[in-house]
């Protein structure tokens, strides 16, 4: 999550190209993290924690998805995160 959140700031700076390349290299790992975060858990606290992670990742990656042509994928993940977190108290 640190990579995604740090990149959110850096994608509007002079190191934009470097950060876009870095995120593209980590794209598969980011997908795995998002899919993991979207999984429900029997433990309510764990589910809440995962939903917070999913929402934070989706928010942090939005610019990357837009700039690198992954807008449909980003929209799908964001919609899933919002839907999965419905009715769950999150602080993200």
Total number of domains in the chain: 1
Identify whether 11 is part of a domain.
yes
Give the other-Cβ count within 10 Å of 83's Cβ: 9
pLDDT of residue 69: 93
Identify whether 35 is part of a domain.
yes
Burial 18-50 (b: 16+ CB within 10 A, else e): ebbebbeebbeebeebbeebbeeeeeeeebbeb
Per-residue pLDDT reduced to its tens digit, 43-65: 788 888 999 999 999 999 999 99
Identify whether 9 is part of a domain.
yes
Identify whether 75 is part of a domain.
yes
Which residue stretches of the chain have pLDDT < 70? Answer: 89-92
Supply 90's token pair: 């999150």
Sign of the C-alpha dihedral, residues 83, 85, 87, 90?
Answer: negative
pLDDT of residue 1: 84
pLDDT of residue 86: 81
pLDDT of residue 91: 62
Q: Which among 19, 13, 55, 18 has a CA at the least distance from the CA of 34? A: 55
Identify whether 91 is part of a domain.
no
Identify whether 89 is part of a domain.
no
């Amino acid at each position: 999550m640190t990579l995604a959140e740090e990149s959110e700031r850096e994608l509007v700076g002079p190191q934009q190209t470097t950060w876009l390349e870095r995120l593209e290299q980590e794209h598969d790992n980011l997908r795995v993290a998002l899919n993991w975060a979207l999984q429900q858990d029997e433990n309510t606290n764990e589910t809440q924690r995962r939903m917070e992670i999913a929402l934070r990742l989706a928010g942090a990656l939005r610019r990357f998805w837009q700039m690198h042509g992954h807008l449909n994928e980003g929209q799908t993940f964001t919609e899933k995160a919002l839907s999965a977190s419905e009715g769950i108290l999150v602080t993200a």
